[in-house]
Amino acid sequence: MTKYKLTDKTKEFFGITLHQIVAVTEFGYVRVGDLGGWIEKESNLSQEGGCWISGDAQISGDAQIYGNAQISGNAWISGYARIYGNALISGYARISGDALISGDALISDDAQIKSFHDICIMSCFGSEGRTTTAFNCKDKTIKVNCGCFNGTINEFEKQIEKTHGNTQYGREYKAMVELIKIHLSD
Contacts of 176 by beta carbon, 8 Å cutoff, 6+ apart: 122, 125, 126, 132
Asked if 132 and 96 sit in the same domain, the reply is: no
Q: How far apart are CA 162 and CA 41, in angstroms?
A: 48
Segments forming the whole domain that contains residue 5: 1-114
Residue after which a domain boundary falls, among 95, 114, 133? 114
Residue 128 pLDDT grade (very low, low, confident, very high; cuts 50, 70, 90): confident
* Strand partners for 19: 10, 39
Q: How far apart are CA 52 and CA 28, in angstroms?
A: 10
Distance CA 138, CA 111 (A): 6
pLDDT grade, residue 116 (50/70/90)?
A: confident
Share of the chain above pLDDT 90, in %: 83
137 and 71 in a single domain? The answer is no
Judgement on whether residues 69 and 143 belong to the same structural domain of the protein:
no
13 shares its domain with 84: yes
Are both 89 and 131 inside the same structural domain? no
Question: Do 110 and 129 fall into the same domain?
Answer: no
- CB count within 10 Å of CB 10 equals 12
Same domain membership, residue 79 and residue 11 = yes
Same domain? For 8 and 92 the reply is yes
> If 0-12 CB within 10 Å is exposed, 13-18 middle and 19+ buried, where does residue 181 land?
middle
Cα dihedral 119/20/79/64 (nearest 10)? 70
Confidence category of residue 186, pLDDT binned at 50, 70, 90: low
* CA atoms of 45 and 137, how far apart (whole Å): 25
**Chain centre to alpha carbon of residue 1:** 25
CA distance 65 to 82: 6
pLDDT band at 126 (very low <50, low <70, confident <90, very high): confident
Judgement on whether residues 90 and 130 belong to the same structural domain of the protein: no
- Which of 83, 114, 145 is where one domain is finished? 114
> CA 85, 91, 94 angle in degrees (round to 5)?
70
Is residue 73 domain-shared with residue 9, that is, in the same domain? Answer: yes
Average pLDDT on 138-153 reads 92
Residue 161, pLDDT score: 96
| pLDDT tens per residue, range 44-80 | 999 999 999 999 999 999 999 999 999 999 999 999 9
What's the CA gap between 66 and 105, in Å, rounded?
A: 14
